[in-house]
C-alpha cells in the first residue's frame, strides 16, 4: 500500500519536473539569442535608452558609440545614421510591435527583435560606404519595404 503511494508520488514528481523543464526550454527557445534585457513594448519611447534613438558617443565603455534603434512596422528609427569609420558601436535595439529582423546587409550583424526584449550587438565599422539595414523576419504587408541606411564615413 505504501509502495503504491510512493510510486504515485514519484510519477507525479517526475511529471511536474518534466513540465518545468519543458516550459523553461520553450521560453528560452522563444527568447532571441541577442536579447540582453527586457522592456515593456508599450512604453518603449519612454524607456531609456529608447527615448533618444540614434548614435551617441559614450565614455568609459568598451565601445565608442551606442546606436539606439527602435523598430516598428514598417520602419526603423532612425531611418538613416552616419557612423565614423573605425568606430566600435554597440547596437541596442527593440521593437514596439511585432517580431522584426535587424540585419546589416554585407556584414555579420543579424539580430532578431522581439517585443519585450532588448537585443544588443557590438561591432566595428571598418569599411566606408552605405549599408542597408533590412528586416529579415516577415512582419506584415510592408515587410519588404522595411529598411534603414547606415553611412560609414
Ligand atoms: Cu519588419 Cu519584416
87-136 pLDDT, tens digit each: 999 999 999 999 999 999 999 999 999 999 999 999 999 999 999 999 99
H-type alpha helices, 31-64: none
What pLDDT is stored for residue 27 in this prediction? 61
Dist. CA 80–CA 1, nearest whole Å: 73
Percent of the chain with pLDDT over 90: 73
> How far apart are the CA of 87 and the centre of ligand 1, in A?
27
Residues 6+ apart with CB under 8 A from 108: 123
> How far apart are the CA of 118 and the centre of ligand 1, in A?
16
Nearest CA to ligand 1 atom 1: 100
- Total residue length of the chain: 153
Whether residue 31 is predicted with pLDDT greater than 80 in this model: the reply is no
Q: What atom in ligand 1 is closest to the CA of residue 71?
A: 1
Q: For residue 93, which of 63, 49, 59 has the smallest C-alpha distance? A: 49
Q: Kindly state the DSSP code that residue 146 receives in the 8-state scheme.
A: -
Q: Are 133 and 91 in contact (CB under 8 A)?
A: no
> How far apart are the CA of 138 and the centre of ligand 1, in A?
5
> How far apart are the CA of 94 and the centre of ligand 1, in A?
12
Q: Kindly state the DSSP code that residue 14 receives in the 8-state scheme.
A: H
What are the pocket residues of ligand 1 if the criterion is a CB atom closer than 6 Å to any ligand atom? 74, 100, 135, 137-139, 143, 146
Q: Give pLDDT tens digits for 32-79.
A: 777 778 999 999 999 999 999 999 999 999 999 999 999 999 999 999
Q: If you classify domain 35-152 with CATH, what class do you get?
A: mainly beta
Q: What atom in ligand 1 is closest to the CA of residue 95?
A: 1
Amino acid at each position: 500500500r505504501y509502495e503504491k503511494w510512493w510510486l504515485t508520488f514519484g510519477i507525479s514528481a517526475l511529471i511536474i519536473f518534466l513540465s518545468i523543464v519543458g516550459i523553461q526550454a520553450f521560453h528560452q527557445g522563444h527568447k532571441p539569442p541577442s536579447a540582453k534585457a527586457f522592456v515593456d513594448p508599450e512604453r518603449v519611447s519612454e524607456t531609456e535608452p529608447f527615448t533618444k534613438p540614434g548614435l551617441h558617443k559614450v565614455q568609459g565603455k568598451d565601445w565608442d558609440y551606442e546606436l539606439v534603434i527602435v523598430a516598428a512596422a514598417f520602419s526603423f528609427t532612425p531611418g538613416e545614421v552616419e557612423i565614423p569609420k573605425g568606430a566600435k558601436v554597440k547596437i541596442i535595439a527593440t521593437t514596439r510591435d511585432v517580431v522584426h529582423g535587424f540585419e546589416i546587409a554585407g556584414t555579420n550583424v543579424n539580430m532578431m527583435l522581439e517585443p519585450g526584449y532588448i537585443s544588443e550587438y557590438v561591432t566595428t565599422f571598418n569599411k566606408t560606404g552605405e549599408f542597408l539595414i533590412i528586416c529579415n523576419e516577415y512582419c506584415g504587408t510592408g515587410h519588404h519595404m522595411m529598411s534603414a541606411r547606415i553611412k560609414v564615413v
